[in-house]
A and B are shown apart, each in its own frame.
Chain A
Amino acid sequence: MAIFADESTRLIVQGITGRDGSFHARQMMEYGTRIVAGVTPGKGGQWFEGPDGKRVPIFDTMERAVGETGADASVIYVPPAFAADAILEAADAGIRLIVAITEGIPVLDMTRVYPFVTEKGARLIGPNCPGLISPGRCKIGIIPASIVTRGPVGVVSRSGTLTYEVVNQLTRAGIGQTTCVGIGGDPIIGTSFIDCLTAFEEDEETRAVVLIGEIGGTDEQEAAAFARQNLSKPVVGFIAGQTAPPGRRMGHAGAIISGSSGTAVEKIRAFEENGIRVARRPIDVVGLIQEAL
């Protein structure tokens, strides 16, 4: 098992002809993800040339792409100015899983996108996220395939490369993953830590979870309280930004200490109070997970 997506997922790439979209579409196809269509307005009727002579039909609209291919998931690589509408278009077309990689979507756009997507019953992952990978099954997004291996650990994170760092160390230590999900570094994101913890709890193959948080907001605190109440599986945590100054946006739009809230200290405390063991360094995640398994 894996969470959110697997071998049967039928994926559309929104923005498949762009620089990032085309590069990552190829990478995903090489990994074995079933990409059934691409969407780029104005390029409908053309074909995307994938690896090994595979071709993917391109459509102008999501409505057509879904109608012709029966896709149930999409991944978005369109520029920030058009990305909010791309998410809405996917939800409107009946897509169940929408993964928005795009960084830089205005947060007020997201306040309108979120209720719409939720009312359509779709799951949005991101925006400003690396997507997800279920080793050996399916990759949606940009997480490098070379660093993952199949195994019993679920990984959920607000970060990209920091996730790669931790996952790579797990893999090197011989500890594989069920699914690695990057939920995104923006203040408003579709899928929360709690959604992922819920899914990992239900996933039979997952035996332990790594939760990588960072400064800003209270998602980690809520996830910690939720884990104590609802999770039978052990959770190991890491929080980035212990040395971040208050009031400054640390790269991610959501990584900001506002006033006195959202600090690493309060998140680490919330983890510890709720039975989540906290790694002081990224490498320490490995030891803690080994003990947990």
Chain B
Amino acid sequence: MNIHEYQAREILRTHGIPVPPGEVAETPEQAEAIAARFGTRVVIKAQVHAGGRGKAGGVQLAATPAEAREKAARILGMEIKGLPVKKVLVTPAEEIASESYVGVIVDRASKRPVFMVSREGGVDIEEVAARSPGAIRRLAVDPRYGLLPHQAYWLATTLYDEAPQQRACAAILRNLYRAFVESGASLAEINPLITTPAGEVKAIDAKFNIDDNELFRRESIAALRDVSAEPPAEIAAREAGLTYIQLDGNIGAVVNGAGLAMATMDLIKYYGGEPANFLDIGGSSNPEKVVNALRIITSDPKVKVILFNIFGGITRCDDVANGIVEASRRIEIRVPLVIRLTGTNEGLALDILRQAGFGATTSMDEVVQKAVEMAGGAPRATN
């Protein structure tokens, strides 16, 4: 789960990390009022779940409240990487003496939380890693002990030369680790961590990615989800216990299992088609899930054909077949269905579908080629 910058800043603040004030506006007028209250130059920042905000013009400086309104109006009308901006963060502009990067991620290779820090802050850390990998210091944490004081201090000494800033930074790093663990994050970063001309160390921008598997035990974090920042179909899918990701193509796909769902998308592309979605109905055998899956896919107007690719293991093919029949009674499906079912109770499933007037096959390649053809894509010759 993604959270917004203003929410991430709040997590930092509650964990004792110095963060300048800031307020969220949903209208240009609110932005103007906030800027007037601060009485200084402000920065207006788009709150959207996408990287590259700055480059897209989603971060702007305003000298006066009137300018804040004007800039906020511009940003609030924007789309960044296809996502509409509905909120902006208004925060006093800081005097910046230096910008650093500090972050902690769950590192797959070492299977531990790993800190990364760099004196090159304020830019994308991936760019720094690609350009000058030596500019990033890394430290793996033993999660059973957490970030130890001497480790935090060592990291801080790689960022700052002055003792007061090293001490302040070490405290920030330990608090950041605590915030990372307590919010169930897979990534927590401050970029930039600045120093002011007066020597203070402050977090200006923050990003947290939350591990979805943590949400069941972290109610206050789960409550940070901004449903207005997500496509409605994906929200409906989550509520129905499905994993759904909307894509740009016209072939809807209902598959059981994430790996098979990805392989199905790839095969659609292989035969010259374009997948409209990733959809995994999961391992259970509930016909209701199939009904919900069809409801969600048929709500996408781009979809010209819907493909089922089911490999029955725990999932029983007859349950899926019943779900398809049930859905065709309850919702209007205006596009053709092409169905592939194999595995557990396959014979039973084919009978159920045949009686309801549906055709079905047991071959994945066959069903994908058929779907591509029906969607109007050029089917590629097989070898």
State the A residues within 8 Å of B (CB): 20, 80-81, 104-108, 110-112, 114-116, 130, 142-144, 146-147, 157-165, 168, 185, 187-188, 212, 214-219, 238, 240-245, 248-255, 259-260, 264, 280-283
Contacts and interface: CB of A to CB of B under 8 A. Distances in A.
A139 to B, nearest CB: 12
Given A147-B343, A165-B311, A243 B269 contact: yes
Interface stretch (B95-103, B207-215, B328-336): B207-215
Q: Which 10 A-B pairs have the closest CB atoms?
A: A159-B259, A251-B258, A161-B257, A162-B259, A240-B262, A161-B260, A111-B143, A241-B262, A251-B280, A162-B260
B259 A242 contact: no
Nearest to A112: B143
B301 to A, nearest CB: 20
A158 B213 CA distance: 18
B265 interface: yes
Contacts of A214: 258-259, 262
Given A159-B259, A164-B313, A281-B267, A110 B278 contact: no
Interface of B: 106, 108-109, 111-113, 126, 142-144, 181, 184, 186, 211-214, 216-217, 243, 245, 247, 255-263, 265-270, 275, 278, 280, 283, 311-315, 342-344, 364-365
A254 B342 CA distance: 27
Given A161-B260, A165-B260, A218-B108, A144 B344 contact: yes
A162 B257 contact: yes
A276 to B, nearest CB: 18
B216 A80 contact: yes
Contacts of A168: 311, 342-343
A112 B111 CA distance: 9
Given A106-B213, A115-B144, A240 B245 contact: no
Given A168-B342, A243-B269, A106 B214 contact: yes
A253 to B, nearest CB: 6
Nearest to A161: B257
A171 B62 CA distance: 67
Q: Which of A81, A104, A251, A253 has the most CB of B within 10 A?
A: A251
B149 to A, nearest CB: 20
B186 A252 contact: no
Q: Which of A147, A212, A215 has the most CB of B within 10 A?
A: A147
A218 B275 CA distance: 26
Contacts of A238: 263
Contacts of B212: 249, 253
A161 B256 contact: yes
Given A143-B313, A160-B283, A280-B270, A107 B106 contact: yes
A163 B256 CA distance: 12
A245 B108 contact: no
Given A168-B311, A218-B109, 8 more contacts: A106-B214, A108-B143, A114-B111, A159-B260, A160-B283, A188-B111, A248-B278, A250-B258
A75 to B, nearest CB: 14
